[in-house]
Structure 1
Amino acid sequence: MKKMSVKTVVAIGIGAALFFVLGKISIPTPVPNTYVSLQYAIQAVFAGLFGPIAGLVIGLIGHALVDFTAYGPWWSWIIASGVFGLLTGLFLGKLDLESGEFGKKQIILFNVSQLIAHVICWGLVAPVLDIVIYNEPLEKLFAQGLTAGIVNAITTGVVGTILLVAYAKTRTKKGSLNKE
């Protein structure tokens, strides 16, 4: 197994802390216990930059901290947050974010990837685990999952794209430096 770099461990700590802080700042939706917040945009960016394991751990730690400081852990959604980071990191491994390139093709790949990850997590993982772990009613689960998936995909798409475009501008583009 490949050893995790110090840079990745630090990124996990920072990413989990940002996930926690942004998870505490949220706007309620009409669906109970479902909120609009920005933590998934940050998680997707960190997963894209530091890989799927970092994305997984950021989601697990960050969401657990949000829940522990609010009403207690809701493990099905904590796990779904971790899976989101894992999937996003796997999908975004195709992007070379360090290259300084983040144009239309990369924006489309990022947004299709995060949308698929949100659909899997909030349309499948969270509801199934809610049934298995908590025996929750089906109608409630899919209303929450659909709402969470939509608002998370929108905020991740908008904020994540802006952050990745800005990040790419800080990188030196491949082939832009010439030897004198």
Structure 2
Amino acid sequence: MKNNNSIKTVVAVGIGAALFFVLGRFVAIPSPVPNTNISLQYAVLALLAVMYGPVAGGLIGFIGHTLIDLSWGGTPWWSWVITSAFVGVIVGLFAKKLNVQEGEFGKGKVTLFTIANIVAHVIGWIVVAPVLDILIYAEPANKVFAQGAFAAISNTITAVIVGGLLVLAYTKTIAKKGSLDQE
């Protein structure tokens, strides 16, 4: 059974990274903040991180963001790649508590899902990304903290609302324990 779960996780990472790439590259919504988009890929990252855990979440964020940056013809912007991986790991750490495979996504789990995404995106985009931008690329602090603040807000909203709807849709497809009666 363990081998079956690891195969599912590898497949989820591949599909998740591909979806992260496609959404980030081709469905990015421009924002008023330079070099910062409203990013729908964080909804998919949130869904798959709570389904498959922190390793899958981290790999999806890392691989997907690296592919987005490479597709623009340059080198990856490592501070943001690392931050996408960080967000996937943090949200994925809540997977066991959320246990969406049970088919339940009530108020308590929605609240926990929201908290997980707020914590991941706020720390990721307001602390990790700007600090790495300054350390790695010597970017001006006022610029990177403005970008980080916008990314934290927009990515949190996207992950919580769209990602929450994806999780809800997923849990609705799962038969609840005891839902089948013997005739």
When the two structures are superposed, what TM-score results if normalisation uses the length of structure 1? 0.95
Of the three residues 101, 109, 125, the one matched with 1:98 is: 101
Question: Which amino acid in the other structure matches residue 142 of structure 2?
Answer: E
Give the total of aligned pairs: 179
Aligned to 1:20: 21
Q: For residue 78 of structure 1, what is the aligned residue in structure 2?
A: 81
Identity %: 57
SS of corresponding position for 1:136: coil
Task: Give the conservation status (yes or no) of the 8 Å contact 2:52–2:95.
Answer: no
Q: Which amino acid aligns with 2:77?
A: W
Q: CA deviation at 1:179?
A: 4.6
Render the CA deviation track for 1:52-102: whole Å, top value 9, x for unaligned. Answer: 000000000000000011143100000000000000000232111111111
Determine helix, strand or coil for the equivalent of 1:94: helix
CA distance in structure 2 between the partners assigned to 1:124 and 1:135 by the alignment = 15
Q: In structure 2, how many angstroms separate the alpha carbons of the residues matched to 1:18 and 1:42?
A: 7
How far apart, in 2, do the equivalents of 1:118 and 1:40 lie?
10
Query: What is the distance in 1 between the residues matched to 2:182 and 2:149?
Result: 53
Give the letter aligned to residue 105 of structure 1: G
Bigger shift: residues 2-11 or 78-87: 2-11
* Cα distance in 2, alignment partners of residues 118 and 37 from structure 1: 12
Partner of 1:31: 33
**How far apart, in 2, do the equivalents of 1:72 and 1:104 lie?**
42
Give the Cα separation in 1 of the matches to 2:138 and 2:94: 31
Q: Where do 4+ consecutive residues of structure 1 move more than 2 Å?
A: 177-180
Structure 2 CA distance for aligned equivalents of residues 147 and 168 of structure 1: 30
After TM superposition, give the deviation of residue 103 of structure 1 in Å: 1.1
Structure 1 runs not aligned, ≥5 long: none
Gaps of 5+ in 2: none
* Residue 132, structure 1, aligned to residue 135, structure 2: yes
State how far apart, in whole Å, the 2-side matches of 1:101 and 1:109 are.
13
Match of 1:122 among 114, 121, 125: 125
My pick for the range that moved more, 143-152 or 68-77, is 68-77
Q: Look up the match of 1:46.
A: 48
TM-score (norm 2): 0.94
2:178 to 154, 161, 175: 175
- What is the aligned counterpart of 2:160 among 151, 157, 161? 157
Structure 2 counterpart SS, 1:153: helix
**Partner SS state of residue 97, structure 2:** coil
Match of 1:107 among 105, 110, 117: 110
CA contact (8 A) 2:13 2:60 kept: yes
Paired with 1:27 and 1:165, the residues of 2 have a C-alpha distance of 24
- Cα distance in 2 between the residues matched to 1:27 and 1:7: 31
